[in-house]
Chain A
């Protein structure tokens, strides 16, 4: 199996020392999509939520003040750039670092909120993100020991798959699931979305979706099921 089976024809590489970014149509599409979405977020303003109460006619507007707006926009742009980087990187350890950056910035976007429920949920998400850094970097280390390299372009050339490599990729997947908070661990993130400031909250969602898609490509490259 080669890279063309998953991502399409290899269009080129960007060598940065040992870290070689590679460009396939699959990666380039996600990279461009992330950058376009980040640009849209950078130039947009936040929504205003209206909280209605039962039994009264008092509707409360929940607005985002200017300082909060600025820090959230900054962190959302950093999150978008980190996601874009994770899309085209060709190095396993570099990928884990991008995922960690996404995880910590996600907490930051929400930590500026003044709603107790949201902050509690963000705290629980932070606990998972901290725990997830163990399998994330541990998985990368196990893969380095069992393959002898971190470059995906070299791993794809290996003719064999050992059970140690499968275990390492399982750990890596567990770390990515924890950092992005998908399927069974989704409840913490679902609570985090219940806060005003919609376009910045959406980057949390988008980054986890794209990272999971890219992580599946990485796992297929390592395990070579076909």
Chain B
């Protein structure tokens, strides 16, 4: 096959997402043949799956133990010297959350467990900068979407670009 033809076919923007999806699919297929290796010294330790649920713990699967300002829960940091107060408030529950916890076994998986119920110190303390970035990505998406909606850039007839 002529290589010039291949290059030319790459110049059409409509074909590019399909090409990307094809290459990505091939790479993901290669992934099935890669031997899985898991590092046992994981940064954020988790209890055995389902163990908290089998214990009928209402905070499952997010129970990290500890009590607020007295005993630290099991939250580990990569650099403990940078977050000295880690684990102090991870067990804090609001009065509403305590009420829900006492009345059902499924508090941990309900919407109440975040963010008012169980405070995720990994999210808001040790990796807080990531949370800031995530919400700014969301904000930019809303800025763009609302600008496009308000100014309606797809009103194509206005400048006679395209006949209806």
Contact = CB atoms under 8 A, between A and B. Distances in A.
Contact of A100 (B19, B82, B137): B137
Contact of B21 (A98, A121, A131, A146): A131
Interface stretch (B46-54, B92-100, B108-116, B154-162): B154-162
Contact of B17 (A15, A111, A124, A163): A124
B79 A15 contact: yes
A107 B151 CA distance: 16
A132 B40 CA distance: 29
A104 interface: yes
Q: Is the interface of B mostly helix, strand, loop or mixed?
A: helix
Chain B, interface residues (CB within 8 Å), range: 35 or more
B129 A94 contact: yes
Contact of B82 (A18, A75, A78, A145): A18
A217 interface: no
Nearest to A19: B129
Interface centre among B14, B21, B129 (most CB of A within 10 A): B129
Interface stretch (B26-34, B57-65, B66-74): B26-34
Q: Which 7 A-B pairs have the closest CB atoms?
A: A148-B39, A108-B144, A18-B126, A97-B133, A127-B17, A162-B37, A17-B126
12 contacts: A16-B129, A97-B130, A108-B140, A111-B153, A114-B155, A124-B16, A128-B17, A146-B38, A148-B40, A151-B79, A162-B35, A170-B27
